[in-house]
């Protein structure tokens, strides 16, 4: 297969069009068009860690000019240094949007070292199948591409270093590696078998059973101010007779203008627009709005909550998690502990793993709390996958709330291991590969097979 032979859909009409300054994104075909025929230089994760390459003021000068082809030893086995360095880079804040502002201080020397690390991690992703390394390689490469696009080669001091032949050649070489890895991912996605969900199950209805005994716990729902799911959850809970004492809407005042970015939301297959009005919370249930975490904690204490259910929330600080007597339950859209972190559904599809939602006790370490229950979600039909994932999360929350309401205690909890697999925001390049895959449409030959 020829690297980069297939052209990405990157135009303005694409779901994830290329935003160089905002996302640190790039058009792969443009990177492949750069001059340069030499091999990509690589560095080991140990050397990159020693140089602190997750910092813009890292000592990248020596690494930028001296890495040699073939430095990558045992490239098919990720080392402990690779995992630690991946986490440091992904959680450093370097690639927050708008990426251009956060990477303004990046130097060509550190950028060249990032390319050498991107080369190693692109290789590693192909040999071990862990696409988190390819994802990070795209971010590192996009950072150098961003600087190259924003500077002029006519002014050596202002930007000529970013267009210097050595750095250009390394960028071109990494582009060829990314092209090969892209083709491999594209081929894998195109040849997946997706079994449809049985037609008899809509998969989007919430349970309507009622609690038959007196509720033995006071429950508060803590939801993001724009969460459409909170109304569904509270309405279903009220019908079921669950003791929902209050709803607290979390609406922090962020200020400024929201940046349009492909990182703004997780990847899901294209879905028809939801034209139904957002469900409202029953008037009988008190609702408050909090703009700070202290106000959230005060609202939970005022309701004398035994249990808190999270819906559409960002990371909640420990001082809030400790407010409820029994704790806080959250429904994660990935299997725990194998799919902690962000974009869990997209990552599961990329790695050909089942989509699983997990109910867990929220702890200070994100997605690391004890698991209460888990439930798989069939991938097909793909145009309703996002809705069915959300419904599964709500079902898990309702089931957990009903158990606590009936018993006055938490259900059985399964502790997670200290070390789980952490996933990070998907680079738009990988989102576009998913957009072009069978996971983005319902036209699959195997669905025509008559089942016995």
Specify the CATH number for the domain of residue 378. 3.40.50.12230
At which of 140, 174, 190 does a domain end? Answer: 190
Q: Give me 165's structure tokens.
A: 């032949």
Overall size of the chain counted in residues: 452
Residues 275 and 402 in one domain: yes
Predicted confidence at residue 10, as pLDDT, reads 67
d(CA 348, CA 414): 22
Residues 129 and 227 in one domain: no
Predicted confidence at residue 208, as pLDDT, reads 60
Query: CA end-to-end span of the chain, whole Å?
Result: 38
What's the domain range around 113? 20-190
Residues 332 and 289 in one domain: yes
Predicted confidence at residue 225, as pLDDT, reads 86
Residues 319 and 392 in one domain: yes
d(CA 245, CA 120): 53
Predicted confidence at residue 321, as pLDDT, reads 95
Q: Give me 116's structure tokens.
A: 């050498």
Residues 182 and 271 in one domain: no
Residues 74 and 169 in one domain: yes
Residues 126 and 237 in one domain: no
d(CA 123, CA 77): 10
Residues 285 and 324 in one domain: yes
Domain assignment present for 201: no
Domain assignment present for 452: no
SS3 per residue for the chain:
CCCCCCCCCCCCCCCCCCCHHHHCCCCHHHHHCCCCCCCCCCCCHHHHHHCCCCCCCCCCHHHHHCCCCCCCCCCCCCCHHHHHHHHHHHCCCCCCCCHHHHCCCCCHHHHHHHHHHHHHHHHHHHHHCCCHHHHHHHHHHHHHHHHHHHCCCCCCCCCHHHHCHHHHHHHHHHHHHHHHHHHHHHHHHHCCCCCECCCCCCCCCCCCCCCCCCCCCCEEEEEECCCCHHHHHHHHHHHCCCCEEEEEEECCCCCCCCCCCCCCCCCCCCCCCCCCCCCCCCCCCCEEEECCHHHHHHHHHHCCCCEEEEECCCCCCHHHHCCCCCEEEEEECCCCCCCEECCHHHHHHHCCCCEEEEEEECCCCCCCCCEEEEEEECCECHHHHHHHHHHHHHHHHHHHHHHHHHHCCCCCCECCCCCCCEECCCCHHHHHHHHCCHHHCCCCHHHHCCCC
d(CA 186, CA 192): 11
Residues 157 and 223 in one domain: no
Residues 275 and 384 in one domain: yes
Chunked into runs of 10 residues, the chain (452 residues) has average pLDDT values of 49 82 94 91 89 82 46 62 94 93 92 94 90 96 93 54 92 96 92 66 62 76 90 90 93 73 92 79 91 96 96 94 96 94 96 95 92 92 92 93 90 86 94 94 64 44
CB count in 10 Å sphere of residue 315: 8
Beta strand pairing call for 219-224 and 244-250: parallel
Q: Name the domain count of the chain.
A: 2
What is the pTM for the complete model shown? 0.86
Predicted confidence at residue 104, as pLDDT, reads 93
Report how far apart, in Å, the C-alpha atoms of 242 and of each of 78, 228, 234, 285, 413 are.
48, 20, 9, 12, 21
Report how far apart, in Å, the C-alpha atoms of 40 and of each of 27, 54, 74, 197 are.
19, 21, 17, 45
Residues 162 and 237 in one domain: no
Report how far apart, in Å, the C-alpha atoms of 436 and of each of 15, 268, 439 are.
11, 12, 8
d(CA 282, CA 220): 14
Predicted confidence at residue 155, as pLDDT, reads 45
Residues 290 and 177 in one domain: no
**Within a 13 Å sphere around the CA of 421, how many CA atoms are in the beta-carbon half?**
14
CB neighbour list of residue 144: distance below 8 Å, 6 or more residues apart: 111, 112, 114, 115, 162, 167, 171
Domain assignment present for 340: yes
Q: Give me 327's structure tokens.
A: 């704790």
Predicted confidence at residue 66, as pLDDT, reads 40
């Amino acid at each position: 297969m020829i690297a980069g032979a297939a052209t990405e859909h990157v135009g303005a009409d694409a779901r994830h069009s290329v935003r160089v300054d905002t996302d640190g994104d790039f058009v792969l075909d443009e990177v492949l068009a750069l001059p340069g025929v030499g091999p990509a230089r690589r560095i080991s994760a140990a050397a990159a860690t020693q140089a602190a390459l997750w910092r813009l003021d890292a000592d990248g000068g020596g690494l930028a000019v001296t890495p040699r082809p073939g430095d990558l030893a045992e490239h098919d086995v990720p080392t402990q240094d690779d995992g630690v360095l991946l986490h440091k880079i992904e959680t450093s804040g370097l690639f927050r949007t708008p990426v251009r502002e956060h990477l303004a201080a990046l130097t060509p020397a550190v950028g060249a070292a990032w390319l050498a690390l991107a080369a190693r991690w692109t290789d590693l992703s192909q040999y071990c199948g862990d696409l988190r390394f390819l994802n990070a390689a795209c971010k590192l490469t996009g950072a150098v591409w961003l600087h190259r696009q924003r500077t002029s080669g006519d002014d050596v001091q202002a930007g000529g270093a970013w267009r210097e032949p050595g750095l250009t050649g390394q960028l071109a070489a990494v582009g060829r590696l990314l092209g090969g890895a892209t083709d491999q991912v594209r081929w894998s996605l195109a040849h997946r078998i997706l079994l449809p969900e049985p037609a008899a199950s809509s998969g989007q209805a919430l349970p309507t059973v009622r609690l038959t005994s007196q509720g033995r716990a006071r429950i508060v729902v803590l939801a993001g101010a724009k969460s459409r799911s909170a109304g569904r959850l509270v309405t279903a809970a009220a019908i079921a007779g669950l003791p929902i004492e209050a709803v607290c809407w979390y609406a922090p005042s962020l200020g400024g203008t929201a940046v349009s970015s492909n990182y703004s939301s997780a990847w899901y297959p294209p879905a028809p627009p939801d034209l139904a009005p957002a469900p409202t919370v029953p008037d009988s249930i008190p609702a408050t709005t909090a703009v700070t975490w202290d106000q959230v904690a005060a609202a939970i204490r005022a309701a004398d909550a035994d249990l808190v259910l999270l819906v559409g929330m960002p990371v909640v600080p420990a001082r809030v998690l400790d407010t409820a007597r029994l704790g806080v339950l959250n429904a994660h859209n990935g299997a725990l502990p194998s799919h902690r972190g962000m974009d869990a559904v997209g990552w599961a599809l990329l790695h050909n793993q089942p989509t699983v939602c997990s109910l867990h006790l929220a702890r200070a370490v994100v997605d690391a709390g004890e698991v209460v229950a888990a439930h798989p979600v069939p991938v097909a039909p793909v145009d309703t996958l996002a809705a069915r994932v959300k419904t599964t999360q709500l079902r898990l929350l309702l089931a957990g709330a009903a158990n606590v309401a009936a018993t006055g205690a938490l259900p059985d909890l399964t502790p997670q291991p200290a070390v789980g697999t952490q996933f990070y925001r998907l680079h738009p390049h990988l989102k576009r590969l998913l957009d072009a895959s069978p996971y983005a449409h319902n036209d699959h030959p195997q669905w025509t097979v008559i089942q016995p």
